[in-house]
Amino acid sequence: MVIPAAGSGVRLGEPVPKAFVDLGGRTVLQRCVDGLATLDADVVVVVPADLVDAARTQLPDHVVVVAGGAHRSDSVRAGLGAAAHRDIVLVHDAARPFTPVAVFERVVDAVRSGHRAVVPGLPVADTLKQVVVASDGSGDCELVTRTVDRESLRAIQTPQGFTREALALAHADDSGLATDDAGLAERVGVPVHVVPGDPLAFKITTPWDLRIARDVVAEGDH
């Protein structure tokens, strides 16, 4: 399993990169790795180059730590280079430290059953509208061009699971703009299947998410 943790966390806006933010005495990254303890997985963690030593100190000895790259997909490829050769490879954001083990199991089971790429996803709760910048001088307002059919949409989480062959194919030709690995797989024609995700697999992205994460820890839910 590859855990990309090499982002800088611009949207979170904390003084340290997101994976190294403290959550009740353990970092986001430590909590993420600890959450995998019951899984039979070789873990490769990818962190900013200047934090490789710090991460090695924080994490159990069996965890391999390597330096990441400018884009998420660069970091994933760095991790794949250090990963053990398994038939199934999972990629999981460090920024989703509360992901229940059941989600990992659902993803792995679906890949084992024959799907080459599997992602967890949840229905979308809000009404979604497409907008453009308003050109009628209405200041900060945007103009709605259409309402998107919510029923057919899923908010996609990690872990994302792949056959080794499918993930290698996905990463063979990458422009650097994909926000997830399944997006790369789609581009090369690999069918991607969705299994149910979990609200606890939310990604810590904004200060609001961090507030919720600290509540989850304080309430002993993780």
**211 is an interface residue for ligand CTP by CB under 6 A:** no
Calpha distance 45→201 (Å, rounded): 18
| DSSP class per residue in 13-45 | T-SS-GGGSEETTEEHHHHHHHTTTTS----EE
- Using a 10 angstrom Cβ sphere, with 0-12 exposed, 13-18 middle and 19 or more buried, the burial of residue 32 is buried
Site string for ligand CTP, 27-66 (x = CB under 6 A): -------------------x--------------------
71 binds, among Mg ion, ligand CTP, none (CB under 5 to 8 A by kind): ligand CTP
Closest approach of Cβ 7 to Mg ion, in Å? 5
Calpha distance 3→45 (Å, rounded): 5
Taking the least distance from each CB to ligand CTP, the nearer of 123 and 207 is 207
- Using a 10 angstrom Cβ sphere, with 0-12 exposed, 13-18 middle and 19 or more buried, the burial of residue 74 is middle
**212 is an interface residue for ligand CTP by CB under 6 A:** no
48 binds, among ligand CTP, Mg ion, none (CB under 5 to 8 A by kind): none
**7 is an interface residue for ligand CTP by CB under 6 A:** yes
Closest approach of Cβ 199 to ligand CTP, in Å? 17
Closest approach of Cβ 162 to ligand CTP, in Å? 16
Structure tokens at 190: 């690999």
The single residue among 71, 77, 116, 171 that binds ligand CTP, judged by CB under 6 A, is 71
Calpha distance 165→15 (Å, rounded): 38
Closest approach of Cβ 154 to ligand CTP, in Å? 18
Residue count, binding to ligand CTP (CB under 6 A): 23
**92 is an interface residue for ligand CTP by CB under 6 A:** no
- Contact present, 132 and 115 (Cβ < 8 Å): no
Q: Give the max Cα distance, the chain.
A: 59
List of residues contacting ligand CTP (CB under 6 A): 4-12, 18-19, 46, 68-72, 75, 93-95, 203, 205
